[in-house]
Structure 1
Amino acid sequence: MNQETDKNEQVPKAMEITSPRTAEQPGPQIPKTGTQYEAGHGPNDGHDHGDDDHDHDETASYVPTIISLVLLLGGILLDYLDVPWFTTYVRLAVYGIAYLLVGGKVVWHALRNITKGNVFNEFFLMSMATIGAFYIGEYAEGVAVMLFYVIGEHFQEAAVARSRKSIKDLIDNRPEIVTVLRNGQATEVKPQQVSIGDTIQVKAGEKVALDGELLSEQSSFNTAALTGESKPDTKSKGETVLAGMINLDKVIDIKVTSAYEDSALSKILKLVEDAGSRKAKTQQFITRFAKIYTPIVVFAALGLALLPYFFVADYVFNDWLYRALIFLVISCPCALVISVPLGYFGGIGAASRNGILFKGSNFLDLITTVDTIVMDKTGTLTEGVFKVQGIKTYGLQETELVALTAALESKSSHPVAQAVVQHAGDSYKHLTVSDVEEISGHGLKGMVDGKSVLAGNGKMMRKFHISYDPEIDAIVDTIVMVAIENQFAGYITIADKIKTDAPETVRQLHALGITNITMLSGDKDSIVQQVAASLKIDKAYGGLLPQDKVSKVEELKQQGRTVAFVGDGINDAPVITLADVGLAMGAMGSDAAIETADVVIQNDQPSKIATAIHIGKATKQIVWQNIGLAFGVKLLVMAFGAFGVATMWEAVFADVGVAFLAILNAIRIQRMDFGKKD
């Protein structure tokens, strides 16, 4: 149905495309938890941690670290007590075992990377520094460098595991067993074994395992896992129920409409899992920077060890080598390559808890630069729930006009069409409908009980040369004009309702520095201007076809603006793809929305747009705090080390300490409350 309002026309498969932006700079996945070498430092090309088994007991990965720590402390104590039997060879054996337990794999990865042409990375830095420490007899310090490096890895592993768990606790809450009704018998099976068309039974308090259609008369559901909202959602017979919802009332029956792996919840979980593979520009910068920075510090350390020979009278090689080793330890970019991707992953997790899904960390960054937000009207700023307000006929009974119109409109899923159908009740169901054609931006035409019927807007009437009173165009409400047998037969007025949080959304966006809020709609211009005025929207355009919306967004981008478009993700798929950041509103279960949008807002609250921007800004702030902290401390300690003021112990604690603080700061976003800004 294409009247003078936004259209819910189905997007052809050709339109169901993935935004090319979501594919830019694909990186490796956010690391899964396991050993410290599997965890790595997040998305960084220089961090090849091998293909160790991810399924072994995570606790076992801490055993070598604990043994190494015991041996190190024992060796230091024996050195301090000057025990006679703790001879050179025994000492080397104790510290050597302690070193191999934590540093063996690091050295192995350094050697393996060298064979691949990837020389300059933190594995190489750590290996050079610690082997050098052993060369000059500083065994304890060599072990300590590796030990604290691995402890830092354990902290990162724990932080990643915590972030993953917080997301999965909220989203991946599908039950492992479902009750399916077959041949009148209730059988418990795994959700993967349920077929489309089967009927499943869900008791009060149970989670729905699969998407389906409610067969029972009515029930209320907790949708917090999907939308971030705790307010119960009441569903009636025939309405869609999604996996992840919790049944609150009584035992209900649901007809399964999607396979387990195709459910909305599965797609959302996959989307969150994949989000870490799309790097923000800051992450890409750190990756490129590390590749340039690491060889520079290696050659600087080499120069620090050798060049003083030509300038210092009392040059002692081991003294200057020690300074160079300190320089290498503190120069390791661990804190950067740990905390930056972890900060973005934390932002993605925080957004998920608020019912907002970012398809990649690049969009967390990009949404903070948006200066123009373009919004659809119907379903975004208004409820999209239309009701018939009035009926005017010319030459026939009102009941006949409604029945003929409803019969034709029953072939459309648009909210305006459904409003007419709902108002008609059963009065149209005995009528036969054929030859239905939907004309984009105009309306529907077809044959109803042998009569040609047109239902649409003024453009539809003019297209088929149907004359009508021009004063009808001045009516503010949405109008469905009807022509029967090429004669104007009357019109039906329909009204929508502005969402309760829409005014606050516009206020928040202006407060965030969004200088241009524009509303684009296929609805008649008088309605669009009325809504825009009541919401204090900067600019509004009505009577637009889908291609007109694309043209408007292209025009804004040509002006040098960074544009975010917010729509329903179905009829607006082309313009969502075109925008710098495409947001799909209330798009649960919509394949087109999940595929084309960069950000999916799981409920229909426009206030979540401002929340998404707040989360993006908070994430970016934390990431740059970590970068500043890491650079500041490292430069200070490198300078002290070069002048012989700092020892390797200070270098170790500074490096690990900075990494630890960066990790704590990165996961801080997980604790932030963005609800106040909703």
Structure 2
Amino acid sequence: MKNLDPNHIHTYDEHGHMTCCSEEEKIYKIAETSIKNSVKKDACCSSDHTEDEHAHGHNHSETSTSSFKMFLPAIVSLFLLLIAIALDNYIPQTWFTGWIRILVYAAAYLPVGFPVLKEALQSILKGEIFSEFLLMSIATVGAFAIGEYPEGVAVMLFYSVGEVFQGMAVKRAKANIKSLLDQRPDEVSILINNEAKTIKAASANIGDIIQLKAGEKLGLDGELLSETASFNTAALTGESKPDTKTKGETVLAGMINLNTVAQVKVTTAYKDSKLSKILEMVQHATAQKAPTELFIRKFAKIYTPIVVLLAILITGLPFFFLEDYAFSQWLYRALVFLVISCPCALVISIPLGYFGGIGAASKNGILFKGSNFLDLLANIQNVVMDKTGTMTEGVFKVQEVVFKPEFNKEQIMEMVNALESKSTHPIATAIHDFVGKVDANIELINVEEIAGHGLKAEVNGKELLVGNFKLMDTFGISYDIDPEAIVYTLVAIAYDKKFAGYLTIADVIKEDAQSAVNKLKELGVNTTMLSGDKSSVVKFVADKLGIINSFGDLLPEDKVNKIKALKGLNQRVAFVGDGVNDAPVVALSDVGIAMGGLGSDATIETADVVIQDDMPSRIPMAINIGKQTKRIVWQNITMAFLVKGAVLALGAGGLATMWEAVFADVGVALLAILNAVRIQNMKF
């Protein structure tokens, strides 16, 4: 799904999934509910209950405020179980027997068993018969029926503990995502008649002036009115290093003002801010399943009823073939079989692994719009990247100033700066940034812009020409250099009918671009550069970065054809871009990656992955996160199938007890969960 649905939030609201007021509260509720429901849907095999319907396990872990409260039912159950076992061993059997023994063990069973029995009944009443709750209910009630009271309590106790750990793991997996959802304040202070008034951020209008104190978070996107201010941008970029902004620059919701009081003019509505879009992307990410998740969910819906049928056959079929058939013996084997077969390790740890990957990526300033893109990016063979704004800063800077000896370089550069101040062209901005403040004493006369060539003016009664070499040719100015031999963009200067010199201007390569290319090579991923810039410039940048395949002078449709050609070679292709013209190729590629800091809204919405801080080094990091997530998921799948398969065979043959069954179910599930959350502590 390449495009975000702008009405997605309202769809949830119309179905009654939230009752909150502000846009951010809605997004928060959707994201939280989506994560919990996704995990719970998987864990229940075929159950699609909503959050409110799950009164046990997960709800305990989500709503409890302390670890003690989460573990309280299990603690009570364990205490009563130990008492029951002690009575079994130290009280005369003539006293501790019959209904007294059953009641003591039942008291130990109820704190952990009642929520599961209740959940199983609710599932059946809703027509969702085959769930993990039913499996555990049959297994433990059956154990009581044949007199295996300690084992019946122990199975449910360990299951309950596993549920608590599972809930804690889900909570931890959500922590990085929730940190994003908590970034923007609900209220802002706006200036009305030079007095600060606190209002709801959603009520602020475009044009309002926000007063932001040191340490406060900005609630809306805007333009900085103060001369300078430093911000912590971790909410948007994953980097906590200060970012100093100057008057007129854009500042975004979620940034934290670090020093002095700053004033910001609101330029974007609350719901349209960059952070709101990030939150929406995170919410969408929890809804889109990876192929592995989808397969496991379908597998569980078929697998669970088959397991129940097999358990019935294990119990009843030997009756027709064995002379010494003992019902309790074969029922016990069937109950062991049911406990072992519960697919919790698979259906819990797999979505948990993907949530962990999404959370780890979010913490590093990378937004995946779905766990399916983690899988796709892990298999990428060729990363195709735009040049300007992706591998370069997208900002022109003067690289070299070359003047003939007979001209005063400083004096003429002051004239050039004064003349270029009349233009808004990026090259003029680069010259102004290089020279500095315009000298007010320089008087320009008869300023004229010559389309496609440059500027002309008179200074001190002499003609000044600043532009390309076509301008020099037009005015008959001779020069002794070959412009085609110089890679960078050239600005030629003539003064008093003579060629004075030239400037070279170029886009600056991002400081981490080289490491990005190197890391992609280490991952075994090829790189290709496509750009609309002239071929010589593209080749120069590509050669400098060690990219072998590069193509310049490309129109948007040319880029599309290049991507089609690569995909025609059966290569899985990711495209990285930032401009509006990149949107078609971002959509066409197997995985579209957008530079989200300065990127166009069209490209960001079309992309599957968004790099929030525009750093190329996040590209190999995203691929690595995808690879690690996929590796962990398949480790869990392999471990679960191997252990369960072995113990299932032993259980059917009467060689495994309930204790081995508990390990095969709860133990493997806990190991899988611990393995799944491991990605959140990895360094990428």
- TM, length-normalised to structure 2: 0.79
2:590 corresponds to 1:555: no
Structure 1: give runs of 5+ residues left out of the alignment: 1-15, 432-436, 438-442, 446-454, 460-468, 482-489
Tell me the CA shift for residue 361 of structure 1: 0.9
What letter is aligned with 1:650?
E
The letter for the 2-side match of 1:46 is S
The alpha-carbon deviation at position 323 of structure 1 amounts to 0.6
Identify the match of residue 368 of structure 2 among 358, 364, 374: 358
**Structure 2 equivalent of residue 52 of structure 1:** 52
Q: Which residue of 2 aligns with 1:207?
A: 217
Q: Deviations over 1:16-65 (max 9, x none)?
A: 94499x9xxx9x99995899999636577623344427796556665544
Instruction: Decide which moves more: 333-342 or 301-310.
Output: 301-310
Which stretch shifts more, 313-322 or 366-375?
Answer: 313-322
Return the letter of the residue paired with 1:379: G
Deviation at 1:278, TM superposition (A): 1.1
Residue 401 of structure 1: how far off its partner (Å)? 10
Aligned to 1:82: 91
Alignment of 1:442-591 (within 5 A): 475-478=486-489, 494-514=505-525, 516-568=526-578, 570-587=580-597, 590-591=600-601
**Helix, strand or coil: the match of 1:276?**
helix
- The separation in 1 between residues aligned to 2:623 and 2:280, in whole angstroms, is 23
8 Å contact 2:139–2:335 — kept in the other structure? Answer: yes
Match of 2:673 among 660, 663, 673: 663
Structure 2 counterpart of 1:623: 633
CA distance in 1, matches of 2:40, 2:516: 40
Q: Please point out which of 197, 201, 206 is paired with 2:207.
A: 197
Matches within 5 A, 1:135-534: 135-169=145-179, 172-387=182-397, 419=430, 475-478=486-489, 494-514=505-525, 516-534=526-544
The alpha-carbon distance between structure 1 residues 50 and 423, as it changes in their structure 2 partners (threshold 3 A), is closer
| CA deviation after TM superposition for structure 1 residue 354, in Å | 1.2
Question: Are the structure 2 counterparts of residues 224 and 398 from structure 1 closer, same or farther at C-alpha, using a change threshold of 3 Å?
Answer: closer
RMSD of Structure 2 on Structure 1 (CA):
4.3
* CA distance 1:292–1:479, shift in 2 (3 Å): farther
Q: Distance in 2 between matches of 1:548 and 1:409?
A: 29
The letter of the residue matching 2:671 is L
Q: Equivalents in 2 of 1:549, 1:520: separation in Å?
A: 7
What SS does structure 2 have at the residue aligned with 1:666? helix
| Letter of the 2:507 counterpart | D
1:223–1:244 contact (8 Å) kept in structure 2:
yes
Task: Indicate if the aligned counterparts of 1:41 and 1:334 stay in contact, CA closer than 8 A.
Answer: no
CA distance in 1, matches of 2:164, 2:200: 35
**Residue type of the partner of 1:267?**
K
Amino acid aligned to 1:74: I
Shift of the 76–261 alpha-carbon distance from structure 1 to 2, 3 Å rule, reads: farther
CA deviations 1:327-383 (Å, max 9, x no partner) are 110110011111111111111111111111111111111111000110000011112
Q: Does the 8 Å contact 1:569/1:597 carry over to 2?
A: no
1:128 aligned onto 2:138: yes
**Structure 2 CA distance for partners of 1:67 and 1:38, relative to 1, 3 Å:** farther
- Counterpart CA distance in 2 for 1:471 and 1:90 is 104
How far has the Cα of 1:628 moved from its partner?
Answer: 1.6
Q: State how many pairs are aligned.
A: 619
Describe the shift of the 1:350–1:526 C-alpha distance in structure 2 as closer, same or farther (beyond 3 A).
same
Deviations 1:499-522 (A, max 9, x none): 2221221111111111x3110000
CA deviation vs aligned residue, 1:542-597 (integer Å, no higher than 9, x gap): 01111211121122112211000011153311211111111112436853343111
The one-letter code sitting in structure 2 at the alignment partner of 1:543 is D
The change in CA–CA distance for 1:506 and 1:50 in structure 2 (over 3 A counts) is: closer
Contact 1:550 1:578 in 2 (8 A): yes
Report the AA paired with residue 366 of structure 2. Answer: I
Deviation at 1:280, TM superposition (A): 1.0
Cα 1:35–1:499 change in 2 (3 A) is closer
Matched residue type, 1:266: S
Equivalent-residue separation in structure 1 for 2:165 and 2:131 (angstroms): 20
Contact persistence 2:234–2:240 (CA under 8 A): yes
Matching residue of 1:485 = none
- After alignment, is 235-244 or 257-266 more displaced? 257-266
Which residue is equivalent to 1:440? none
- Partner secondary structure for residue 582 of structure 1: strand
Q: SS in structure 2 opposite 1:188?
A: strand
> What is the letter of the counterpart of residue 119 of structure 1?
I
- TM-score, scaled to structure 1: 0.80
Check conservation: 1:304, 1:320, Cα contact below 8 A.
yes
Q: SS of the counterpart of 2:80?
A: helix
Instruction: Give the C-alpha shift of residue 217 in structure 1.
Output: 0.7
1:35 and 1:276 mapped to 2: Cα distance?
6
Q: Secondary structure at the match of 1:566?
A: strand
Moved more, 240-249 or 657-666: 240-249
Q: Which moved more, 1:123-132 or 1:47-56?
A: 47-56
Describe the SS at the equivalent of 2:393: coil
Mean Cα deviation higher: 382-391 or 283-292 = 382-391
Give the structure 2 partner of residue 5 of structure 1.
none
SS in 1 for 2:268: coil
- Residue 168 (structure 1) shift: 2.7
User: Match of 1:10?
Assistant: none
1: CA distance, partners of 2:572 / 2:679? 25
User: 2: distance between equivalents of 1:35 and 1:272?
Assistant: 10
User: Does the 8 Å CA contact 1:47/1:121 hold for their aligned counterparts?
Assistant: yes
Q: Any gaps of 5 or more consecutive residues in structure 2?
A: 18-28, 54-58, 404-411, 446-450, 455-465, 471-478, 493-500
Moved more, 527-536 or 171-180: 171-180
1:311, distance to aligned residue in structure 2 (A)? 3.3
Question: Structure 1 residues 582, 104: CA separation in 2 closer, same or farther (over 3 Å shift)?
Answer: same
How far apart, in 2, do the equivalents of 1:313 and 1:499 lie? Answer: 81
Shift of 1:213: 0.7
SS at match of 1:213: strand
2: distance between equivalents of 1:670 and 1:252? Answer: 36
* Closer, same or farther: CA 219–589 of 1 in aligned 2, 3 Å: farther
Distance 2:453 2:343 in 1: 63
Please name the residue that 1:40 is paired with: 40
Match status 1:610 vs 2:626: no
Give yes or no for contact 1:222–1:247 (8 Å, CA) kept in 2. yes
Question: 1:525 and 1:594 mapped to 2: Cα distance?
Answer: 26
Q: Report the AA paired with residue 48 of structure 2.
A: D
SS at match of 2:306: helix
2:287 counterpart SS class: coil
Which shifted more, 171-180 or 118-127?
Answer: 171-180
Shift of 1:243: 1.9
% identity of equivalent residues: 58
Say which is worse superposed, 656-665 or 300-309, in terms of deviation. 300-309
Query: Larger RCO: Structure 1 or Structure 2 (Cα < 8 Å, ≥ 6 residues apart)?
Result: 1
> Whole-Å Cα distance in 1 between the matches of residues 518 and 203 of structure 2?
49
| Structure 1 residues 498 and 136: CA distance shift in structure 2, 3 A | same
CA shift digits 1:519-550 (9 cap, x unpaired) = 00000011111111111112111011112111
| Cα pair 1:226 1:244 within 8 Å, conserved | yes
The structure-2 alpha-carbon separation of the partners of 1:407 and 1:520, relative to structure 1 and needing over 3 Å to count, comes to farther
CA shift for structure 1 position 284: 1.3
Counterparts of 1:214 and 1:321, CA distance in 2: 74
Change (3 A) 1:289 1:406: farther
- 1:127 and 1:549 map into 2 onto residues whose CA distance is 59
Q: Quick one: distance in 2 between partners of 1:214 and 1:149? A: 55
